[in-house]
Chains A and B, each alone.
Chain A
Amino acid sequence: DSGVTQTPKHLITATGQRVTLRCSPRSGDLSVYWYQQSLDQGLQFLIQYYNGEERAKGNILERFSAQQFPDLHSELNLSSLELGDSALYFCASSVGGGRQGFSGNTIYFGEGSWLTVV
Chain B
Amino acid sequence: QKEVEQDPGPLSVPEGAIVSLNCTYSNSAFQYFMWYRQYSRKGPELLMYTYSSGNKEDGRFTAQVDKSSKYISLFIRDSQPSDSATYLCAMSPPSGGSYIPTFGRGTSLIVHP
Chain A residues close to B by CB (< 8 Å): 2, 4, 33, 42-45, 48, 55-56, 58, 90, 92, 98-99, 101-102, 105-112
Contacts and interface: CB of A to CB of B under 8 A. Distances in A.
Nearest to A48: B100
Interface residues of B, number: 23
Which are the 5 A-B pairs with shortest beta-carbon distances? Answer: A109-B43, A42-B105, A105-B99, A43-B103, A98-B98
A107 B104 contact: no
A109 B45 contact: yes
12 contacts: A45-B101, A48-B98, A58-B100, A98-B98, A102-B32, A102-B49, A105-B99, A106-B49, A107-B101, A108-B46, A111-B43, A112-B41
B71 interface: no
Contact of B43 (A42, A99, A110): A110
Interface of B: 32, 41-46, 49, 51, 88, 92, 95-106
A56 B100 contact: yes
Nearest to B43: A109
B43 A112 contact: yes
B42 A43 contact: no
A58 B103 CA distance: 13
Contacts of B101: 45, 107
Contacts of A56: 97-98, 100
B97 A98 contact: yes
Contacts of B92: 102
